[in-house]
Structure 1
């Protein structure tokens, strides 16, 4: 018999299968990935550097829809806002992957490249060097928290006796299913407003 036209196993299939398991269960093991692909666990290890390597393949799959072109927008705050919205949409599609990916160091070159562009965007806008990582980390926290919130139940505060919490019950009814989106808009606007105050500030002698 001739060789199959398509390889039985490759990094793309491993990443897609691991992400499928994460979407279903919230986590994966390498033996589970192998079983689902119909191969031996050792075969998976021929393509990746252990479990950490599979985690990075999952990250690659999640960020496929993250649009780096948003970082070409001007001014810097418009670019940052558009990138944040694209970032949120990418992770909202796979909320169970958030805890897995956010507790593992980022090594994917294409993701590193986007964060390098964000760091450059902030630096060019006049942010002090010691403010760049807090801004990036704060944006990560905001976006990923909101992406996780999008998978939460529509009604988060179950008020069985409205007389006990009448204002909370009324506010929840008025806001309805738009709660997560409106909360994200509000928080992102406040975050960007604060960042505008940091941009262009005097870096001081410690941050030339």
Structure 2
């Protein structure tokens, strides 16, 4: 029997960075979202992400090839937050309203991801594919011809993405300033935006004691546009009797 002095020594693992195997898409996504919440998308760099994960940048590059890959992971995770549940229980037009508003609200807080959604294939984005499957199933259940569905969804998405930017627009975006006299019709329309079509008489009849919620211009424009799009898409591409 070997003496205690001759017994093999237990090699203690050196402290330091965790092994690369601990990295995963889910862990990278979580760390990226945490960085974004603290520093915005400008703070999301590969070096910062590797540091937050306590790994060398080279280890991170073994899992994602570029920042664009990281953005795709984040985008797909956020797509899982888009509410598609109404397509299983609501009429088609009501389901589209709920889905579109949820979609807009999710990405209004993540504008830098919109170009990622618009330009990258969905091949490696399981949450995104799940979302599209639920929407497509809802369209089919409402009697839409299969060949029209993707075009309708793309048209709606184009409107949704633009509306997400509008949520972040400054309140005075249409203020012509000193050039207002050069565009009197536009400036008057801007000044009248949100006024009731019923006229001043109706407002006076309501009395000063009536409290009115301040108007959200982005929501008003979104509601108007979505209503028009739903009606137009149904009339041009939707189910045929």
- Report the TM-score, using the length of structure 1 for normalisation: 0.80
Instruction: Name which of 59, 63, 69 aligns with 1:43.
Output: 59
The one-character-per-residue Cα deviations of 1:109-161 (angstroms, maximum 9, x if unpaired) are 12211211211222232222321111010111111110111112111123122
Q: Distance in 1 between matches of 2:229 and 2:137?
A: 19
Q: Which moved more, 1:143-152 or 1:171-180?
A: 171-180
Q: Distance in 2 between matches of 1:54 and 1:164?
A: 47
Q: Name 1:199's counterpart in structure 2.
A: 238
Q: Name 2:4's counterpart in structure 1.
A: none
Instruction: Return the offset for 1:29.
Output: 4.3
Unpaired runs of 5+ in structure 2? 1-11, 195-214
Give 3-state SS (helix, strand or coil) of 2:224's partner.
Answer: helix
Equivalent residue runs for 1:110-189 within 5 Å? 110-161=127-178, 162-175=180-193, 178-189=216-227
The one-character-per-residue Cα deviations of 1:176-204 (angstroms, maximum 9, x if unpaired) are 762221111111001110122232227xx
Contact 2:80 2:128 in 1 (8 A): no
- Report the TM-score, using the length of structure 2 for normalisation: 0.70
Q: Distance in 2 between matches of 1:25 and 1:65?
A: 19
Give 3-state SS (helix, strand or coil) of 1:201's partner.
Answer: coil
The one-character-per-residue Cα deviations of 1:55-100 (angstroms, maximum 9, x if unpaired) are 3321133224322322223211211111111111111121222123
Aligned residues between the structures = 200
Q: Distance in 1 between matches of 2:155 and 2:232?
A: 11
Q: Distance in 2 between matches of 1:16 and 1:168?
A: 46
Q: Name 1:91's counterpart in structure 2.
A: 107
Contact 2:79 2:127 in 1 (8 A): no
Contact 2:82 2:103 in 1 (8 A): yes
Unpaired runs of 5+ in structure 1? 203-208
Q: Distance in 1 between matches of 2:80 and 2:136?
A: 20
